[in-house]
Chains A and B, each alone.
Chain A
Amino acid sequence: MKELTAEDTSLLELVDRLLNKGVVLAGEATISVAGIDLIYLGLNVVLAAVETIGKAQERRAS
């Protein structure tokens, strides 16, 4: 399990709010980062992504 720093946590909490909270109006846009659509993904998924990235980096380093 990747240790979360305070900075990671702050960013994830903010991203979670931007993507999952706030007023929901009928819209049509999607955003993607590195080819992955982020809209409607919860904090859990973002955390999981951080952990996956961490593991991938560890594998590459070994």
Chain B
Amino acid sequence: MTLLAHAIAASPPATLSQEGLRGRPLAWSEAGDLGLWSTEWAPDIKLERPDALEHHRLVERICAAQPCLPVRFGTAFATSDDARASLDKRAAALHAALTRVAGKTELALTLLWRDSPGPLLIKSAAGPGRQYMEARRAEFAAREARRARAETMVDRVVAELAIDRQLVWHETCTSDNVAVSLAVLVPTERAAERKAELERVAARFPDVIPVLNGPWPPYTFARTE
């Protein structure tokens, strides 16, 4: 039997339905004052995409019952002893992360560019080599301008919502479509209010389409390394 990990929480474990992924038993492996919620899995059963979404729903259920750290989907342990040893090894860091996320939830804001970067037309009487270099330079300048614009939008969101920078994670221009991917950790009881505020600020940017998600378990803020 394998244990498919879902979330780490402090003991004692909350009272939860004993149903894990695909209706298999949900298990609690305790190590000191920490424990791991996992599904009793069979190594020959292959994980599929619906399992990832069900893992998300399970983590949501666990987080609603007690503060928890979501574990990266697909992490499995051969035995309960292996799971306990893994928790023991990083107990201090896990405690610190649990304290950081306790009572908080994650909101996600993605800003999508309204327009794709268009083809750059360089008019020049110069030879093809020079034209090529000018085109490259113009492309680079356009890319940098987009990145600077994306960072400005992030600064504006953080300033207008008066968010502590420690509670914000972001990336800019991760693909041609995406200007900003941002996550913010907010108090669970204020999640709806903060989400509405994020929506209001993001709607003022004319060049992007905002997509708001969450509240979610604190995936982005659960890392310990």
Chain A residues close to B by CB (< 8 Å): 1-4, 6, 9-10, 13-33, 39, 43-44, 47-48, 51
Contacts and interface: CB of A to CB of B under 8 A. Distances in A.
Contacts of A48: 175
A10 B174 contact: no
A30 B47 CA distance: 8
Contacts of B48: 31, 33
Contact of B69 (A4, A23, A27): A23
Main SS at interface, chain B: mixed
Contacts of B83: 25
Contacts of B69: 22-23
Interface residues of B, number: 48
Given A6-B209, A31-B48, A17 B78 contact: no
A28 B76 CA distance: 6
B222 A23 contact: yes
Contacts of B4: 29
Interface in B193-225: 209, 211, 213, 216, 219-220, 222-225
